[in-house]
Structure 1
Amino acid sequence: MTTGTGHLAIDGLGKHYGGDTFAMRDVTLEVSPGEAIAVVGASGCGKSTLLRLVAGFETPTEGRVLLDGRPVTGPGPDRGVVFQDYGLFPWLSVRENIAYGLRERGVHRREALRQATEHAELVGLGRFVDAYPHTLSGGMQQRVGIARVLALHPSVLLMDEPLGALDALTRRQMQDELVAIRRRVGTTLVLVTHSIEEAVYLADRVVVMAGGASHGVPGQVSAVVPVDLGDRRDTAAPDFQGLAQQIGDHVHSPLPEQEDAA
């Protein structure tokens, strides 16, 4: 259930890594508590840079990120990050991997393991709490990673291509798992993905970014597309495919400099 926390305000955000080369610039976006947004765009457009700035892993060159009205100045437990790399400890069981962050925060071992068991059940791994990562499929390992983050009760869940390393069938199954998990916990979600269909399947809004340092212009938000398809989404339905096509057109539209040069 949505707690009312997890309100993100991104205001005039920019980042450059030296000289006048901006990875992204003047990105302004608001994400409501419990909302899911997906960020898509061509490689190098600044998607992952945006996620790292929200996570607090990097400091913006200009602008700011506010979470529930407080400036983001570094990493914090109010933001949980899930990467494509599962990052599990191979010598720890599923339960111990999930409990790791809780133990680092000072939670007593017995209580941490109890909460870890609850979160293993939340992601459908209740029968595998004593298993070790090498015995699990890729999708199951990613579920452990998600449970480990959710056990810390973050206000915002940040995911950078979390399903990119999975085969097509497992990826679709994990998309369904993410939908189910979000219905249970209601955490605000910011998802970076290269898959437009995945964005439409999982998000309430899709943010399209264009440009980026590799294009010679700063990355910027070129479109924000609402996903008004209800809770049950059929990827084969005409309205789903039509919306995916619309977003794809935005992604592949020429940058303003290219239009001017034409």
Structure 2
Amino acid sequence: MPTLYSSCRYQCTAKAGTLFDKTRTPLKDWLAAIWYITNQKSGVSALGLQGLLGLGSYQTAWSMLHRLRRAMVVSERGSLSGVVEVDETFLSARNDARGHAPQLDSKNIVIIVAVELLEPKGFGRIRLGRVNRASQADVIPFIKKNIEPKTLIHTDGSPIYGTLQDHGYRRNKFVQIGSPIPPYKTLPGVHRIASLLKRWLLGTHQGSIQPKQLDHYLYEYTFRFNRRKSRSRGLLFYRLLESALETNPVTYKDILQG
């Protein structure tokens, strides 16, 4: 309900300036959506959310999910550190012959994957990012943004990682051409994450993802993976709600433009 401040005669609502502003969806539906998102291990699709909440249109559910994905990236999150694997994977979105929703396959869109390695085994946090090309000019800025200096980085033999030492990193290079060891064993972390990401996109979302919105699906997957060991669903609900309150309003037009 709008609140009127007597001193300045300014009328506003409790949703003003938050992610929930500029939407007609009742706040109770937003809270239910956040609960469903944080309580489902693999998340929920727009079609699934529409059915769960009884929303009048698919478009409403789709835009709600995209708004919440923007709240899943915290600006002050810590950089990766310790021992980190970095590699590229590839995705593409294409329409099928019948004009149905785009289906993802494994080429064209370049995704950089970075994952912390834990001792004696296991994976820590991850970072995912889309870049224009698998080139030094695109990959090095991603690494500098997401990985602490002096970190030991495991990579393949690609020359795009050749200047890591110049930027304050240590590099352990695994040359895979001609090696009897398969890539998924020399760099197990990035191959594991890439495989799980593709499975999630094609499973939960049926591959129905437009290239303009792909970055925000990467935000959601990162949010989920980095909190996979959390024992408190209520805390995840609280964290996402808190972040949504600190996220600026987003219009439907903004979402369509990516």
Give the TM-score, by structure 2 length: 0.26
Query: TM-score, normalising length from structure 1?
Result: 0.26
Larger Rg: 2
Higher strand share: 1
